Amino acid sequence: MTDADDSPTTPEAEAKEPLSARFLKPKPEKRPRPTPGVVPEDVEIIEGFPERQVAMRSLGTSEIRFGYAVAILGAIFTLGLNIPSMTGETQFTNAIAPVKGACTKGYTLTKDACIQIVHYQPADFLPFLIVGIVAAVAIALTIKLRRRTPAVFASLMMGLVVSEVPPKPSVLLGVPFFVFSGWLMVRARRIQKFGTTDTKAVAVLSAEQRAQRRADKAAGIKPERASRGGTTPARATGRSAGPKGTTGAKGTSSAIESGRYTPKKATPKKRPTPPPAEPKPSRFKKLIGDEE
């Protein structure tokens, strides 16, 4: 008896797998649904105002992907709207309905419509072509550098240029670029206020803030607002505000003292009171000679 005889299975038998395991993929595991009213655990909340400012200025992964798509779309719109009209003179006809049987200036009445024939030269489309290409390159460059504010500006410029290309300007052509720029600003606002751009986390945090405001209003607590320069309100420091910008019981001034030395004013010396004046002799006593 050998070891090969002891093993009832062969390597070929071990290599065989059922057909269901070969062709049918196992069902993916279902992710647990987030508990309502609780921020999901996989969502990272940015704490601290400096960190949020850095996140507001930069772009995320999804924003970069959409940004490149918007840049490519802007280049396609620019070339498609301008290049065909730059091969030669373009003639475009405008038609409007007459008003009380008459046409406005520049239109000719033909049958039942007012017709205007407009001629465009290739030079008329050159500025739109140049500005559109510059805007598309600017969008791609700002997305590569991950700069949010320049990307918003470049996207708005791209939308304005595309929506004004003759002979038929249309705002609908600029809608994708306006939506993208607005989407970037909304996400920056979410980072500033909540520290995240996740929709579910923002909904939970927003509900908590509304509930806190209602509870404070019911308790008669006014919301505290920090003054400019990051100073702490008087109520938060536990000192009562005095009249005319003073705080505390002694009414000390809240203004920041300068580094210069200011000598104290000398107290004025009191002048000595003069002695009382001597009474003058009366004239009646002088006449009767009653003087001593």
Examine the pLDDT at 66 and tell me if it is beyond 80: yes
Q: Of all residues in the chain, what percent carry a pLDDT higher than 70?
A: 66
Q: What is the pLDDT at residue 206?
A: 80
Lowest mean pLDDT among 7-21, 61-75, 249-263: 249-263
pLDDT tens track for 162-176: 999 988 888 999 999
Find the helix packing angle between 148-163 and 49-57, rounded to 10°: 30
- pTM of full prediction above 0.85: no
Q: What is the pLDDT at residue 253?
A: 46
What average pLDDT does the structure give for the chain?
Answer: 75
pLDDT tens track for 26-63: 666 655 555 555 666 667 788 888 888 888 899 988 99
**The residue type at 201:** A
The whole-number average pLDDT for the span 116-142 is 91
For residue 174, count CB atoms less than 10 angstroms from its CB and return exposed for 0-12, middle for 13-18, buried for 19 or more.
buried
Provide CB contacts within 8 A for 240, sequence distance 6+.
234, 247, 248, 249
pLDDT band at 196 (very low <50, low <70, confident <90, very high): confident
Per the model's pLDDT, the better-predicted residue between 277 and 217 turns out to be: 217
pLDDT tens track for 137-152: 999 999 999 999 999 9
Examine the pLDDT at 8 and tell me if it is beyond 90: no
Measured in residues, the chain has a length of 292
74 and 113 Cβ atoms separated by less than 8 Å: no
Choose the most confident range, by mean pLDDT, from 40-49, 125-134, 210-219: 125-134
The whole-number average pLDDT for the span 71-91 is 90
Query: Cα separations (Å) of 7 from 1, 4, 39, 123?
Result: 11, 6, 56, 87
In 184-199, which positions are buried (b, 16+ CB within 10 angstroms) versus exposed (e)? Answer: beebbebbeebbbbbe
Lowest mean pLDDT among 59-63, 122-126, 261-265: 261-265
Q: How far apart are CA 119 and CA 104, in angstroms?
A: 19
Q: Of all residues in the chain, what percent carry a pLDDT higher than 90?
A: 28
The first and second tokens of residue 167, run together, are 């002979």
- What's the count of helices (H) and strands (E) in the chain, helices before strands? 10, 5
Q: What is the pLDDT at residue 184?
A: 94
Q: Where are the domains of the chain?
A: 49-88+130-200
